[in-house]
Amino acid sequence: MQMYDLPDTRGHFGPYGGVFVAETLMAALDELRQEYEAARTDPDFQAEFRHELRHYVGRPSPIYHARRWSEKLGGAQIYLKREDLNHTGAHKINNTIGQALLARRMGKKRVIAETGAGQHGVASATVAARYGMECVVYMGAEDIKRQSPNVYRMKLLGATVVGVESGSKTLKDALNEAMRDWVTNVESTFYILGTAAGPHPYPMLVRDFQCVIGEECKVQMAEMLGRQPDAVIACVGGGSNAIGIFHPYIAIDGVRLIGVEAGGDGIASGRHAAPLSAGTPGVLHGFRSYLMQDANGQVIETHSVSAGLDYPGVGPEHSYLKDSGRAEYVSVNDDEALAAFHDLCRYEGIIPALESSHALAHAAKMAPTMGKDRILLVNLSGRGDKDINTVARLSGIEL
């Protein structure tokens, strides 16, 4: 692998990324870029970030050998990076702490966020409470129905949750509405974007904050096994947990990087959320990347059992990694993800998020085809407590 030093100074990963926003936001993004450049090399900022990850989030998160499930599958050994054990139950908090520290550094007292499954909303509400900031979270009306426990969690943490009724009433519409708030309140407000997408510098800074996942894995795998995994597997919606675990491995030859998109009812059905598997490049939400769109360039409504993957675009660095061939992208259907969800509950005593269950499902497909000395590292990006209503409903059970 060649030296990898992306994005360029204007946020491009090859043809992807960039800054495709209305003029009103250009100055704010420029300010954020400069502030982040300063913070990135400021030892005090980095020390505080590390301190918060250790003492507030509970890092490093462990790597766990899913021994019984691996035995049942009868092939490669599956190891889980336990981001589900973080405070707030997902990887999202790594990023929200980083961005909240940036917001404080910039003197912004009000933060806004978009959320799909509610994990990023909860992580944003959490850090807003932690640092004493006002927090408004935009969430699609459809997602509010699917994820009511997380809605209440955000309210408990003092955030205002605004339901978004436009478009498909899911994550993409919440993002539109957050952008509209930001353009209106740009001088007082910091936008805590939840995934490694959006206009530059967001894809870069979210990646950098999430890279703690992969950095820890490299050390932990060496300590536990004296070697690195044969493949690293992560689910991809916007793609922040995936880029966080992939990025530190990009330069390490022999480690396959596999992103798993939401196949919904199957790619052939058209009802899915898999732009890397079945989309074409386009511009949405401030950046160029693979996108689910029709021939007129209108964004297509997506479908996934998992609200957190229900997004028609994907972070620009994943588009670059796909084209370059360094990472592979596959999809897993709703029913396969649900089967993996139940397997992990029963064999390992871990309730995984439906998002992460997509990565687990792909590991379950791969493992039996590999030798028992092979190692798959799955990013278990979140815990599944928030999903029990959805899973129960799909099983015909009313809670």
Partner 1 sequence: MSRIATTFSQLHAADRKALIPFITAGDPGPDRTVPLMHALVAGGADIIELGVPFSDPMADGPTIQRSSERALKFGVGLKDVLAMTAEFRKTNATTPVVLMGYANPIEAMGWPGFCAAAKAAGVDGVLTVDYPPEESADFAAQCEAAGLDNIYLLAPTTPEVRVAAITRLARGFVYYVSLKGVTGAANLDLVEVAQRVAMIRAGAGLPVGVGFGIRDAETARQVAQVADAVVIGSRIVQEIENSTPETMQDNVRNFVAGVRTALDT
Site residues (vs partner 1, CB under 8 A) = 10, 18-28, 166-167, 172-173, 176, 179-180, 183-187, 281-286, 288, 291, 293, 295-299
Taking the least distance from each CB to partner 1, the nearer of 58 and 297 is 297
CA 303, CA 189: separation in Å to the nearest integer?
31
Q: Which residues are catalytic?
A: 92, 114, 381
- Least Cα distance to 169 among 133, 211, 138, 203 occurs for 138
User: What 3-state class would DSSP assign to 11?
Assistant: coil
CB of residue 348 to partner 1, shortest distance in Å: 40
Taking the least distance from each CB to partner 1, the nearer of 163 and 281 is 281
- 201: its two tokens: 């510098």
Taking the least distance from each CB to partner 1, the nearer of 290 and 341 is 290
Residues 6+ apart with CB under 8 A from 319: 13, 16, 276, 281, 288, 289, 290
What are the CA-CA distances from residue 176 to residues 173, 203, 250, 290 (Å)?
5, 17, 32, 18
CB of residue 166 to partner 1, shortest distance in Å: 6
Q: Going by DSSP bridges, is the β-strand pair 287-291/280-284 parallel, antiparallel, or unpaired?
A: antiparallel
| Residue 69 falls in which region: left (phi positive, over 0), alpha (psi -120 to 50) or beta | alpha
Locus of tokens 């922040």: 240
Is residue 92 a contact partner of residue 53, using CB atoms and an 8 Å limit?
A: no
- Sheet containing 256-264, strands listed edge to edge, beginning at the edge strand earlier in sequence: 63-65, 77-82, 375-380, 231-235, 256-264, 327-333
- 37: its two tokens: 């450049």
Q: Going by DSSP bridges, is the β-strand pair 256-264/231-235 parallel, antiparallel, or unpaired?
A: parallel
CB of residue 262 to partner 1, shortest distance in Å: 19
Taking the least distance from each CB to partner 1, the nearer of 293 and 306 is 293
CB of residue 323 to partner 1, shortest distance in Å: 17
Helix and strand tally (H, E) in the chain? 16, 14
- 336: its two tokens: 């396969």
CB of residue 23 to partner 1, shortest distance in Å: 4
Taking the least distance from each CB to partner 1, the nearer of 22 and 251 is 22
| Residue 266 falls in which region: left (phi positive, over 0), alpha (psi -120 to 50) or beta | left
Taking the least distance from each CB to partner 1, the nearer of 185 and 228 is 185
Taking the least distance from each CB to partner 1, the nearer of 25 and 257 is 25
CB of residue 196 to partner 1, shortest distance in Å: 19
CB of residue 176 to partner 1, shortest distance in Å: 5
- 118: its two tokens: 């509610």
CA 217, CA 83: separation in Å to the nearest integer?
11
DSSP-derived secondary structure letter, 53: I
User: What 3-state class would DSSP assign to 102?
Assistant: helix
